[in-house]
Amino acid sequence: EAGVAQSPRYKIIEKRQSVAFWCNPISGHATLYWYQQILGQGPKLLIQFQNNGVVDDSQLPKDRFSAERLKGVDSTLKIQPAKLEDSAVYLCASSLGIQGTEQYFGPGTRLTVT
C-alpha cells in the first residue's frame, strides 16, 4: 500500500514570497490533515478535511495560509506571503475516517524562509 505522498521535500524562499505544498493521501482515506512542526516541537494541526469539506481550521492563520482539497483526494497548502516564523516542516497525514485513530503521516516538506 502506497503511503502519503508530499512534494516538494524541501523549499527555500525569501520572506514575503509565496509557496505551495502538495499532498496525496493514502487511497480511500477520507480524512486529510495538515500539520506544522517547528524544530524541537510536536506537530500542530493547521487544518482537517473530511472528503472535500473543512472539519477544523481553527489554528490556521487565515490571513496568510490557505488550503484546499479538490475532489476529496489530494490537497494543496499555500502560504502567501511567507514570514520568517513560517520556517518549519509541513506534514500531511490521512486517516480512514473522521475519527482517525491511526493517522498516517507523509515525509513532510521542510520550508526555510530567509
Partner 1 sequence: EDQVTQSPEALRLQEGESSSLNCSYTVSGLRGLFWYRQDPGKGPEFLFTLYSAGEEKEKERLKATLTKKESFLHITAPKPEDSATYLCAVVTGAGSYQLTFGKGTKLSVIP
Question: Which residues bind to partner 1, rule: CB under 8 A?
Answer: 4, 31, 40-45, 48, 55-56, 91, 93, 95, 98-108
To the nearest whole angstrom, how small is the minimum distance from the Cβ of residue 16 to partner 1?
A: 28
In whole angstroms, what is the distance from residue 103 CA to residue 106 CA?
A: 10
Query: Would you give the end-to-end CA distance of the chain in angstroms?
Result: 37
To the nearest whole angstrom, how small is the minimum distance from the Cβ of residue 81 to partner 1?
A: 26
To the nearest whole angstrom, how small is the minimum distance from the Cβ of residue 65 to partner 1?
A: 17
- Of 26 and 81, which has the nearer Cβ to partner 1? 26
**6 phi, psi to nearest 5 deg:** -135, 150
To the nearest whole angstrom, how small is the minimum distance from the Cβ of residue 95 to partner 1?
A: 8
Q: Which residues pair with 67 in a beta bridge?
A: 77
- Of 27 and 99, which has the nearer Cβ to partner 1? 99
- Of 77 and 100, which has the nearer Cβ to partner 1? 100
Can you give the C-alpha Rg of the chain in angstroms?
A: 13
Contacts of 20 (CB under 8 A, 6+ apart): 76, 77, 78, 79
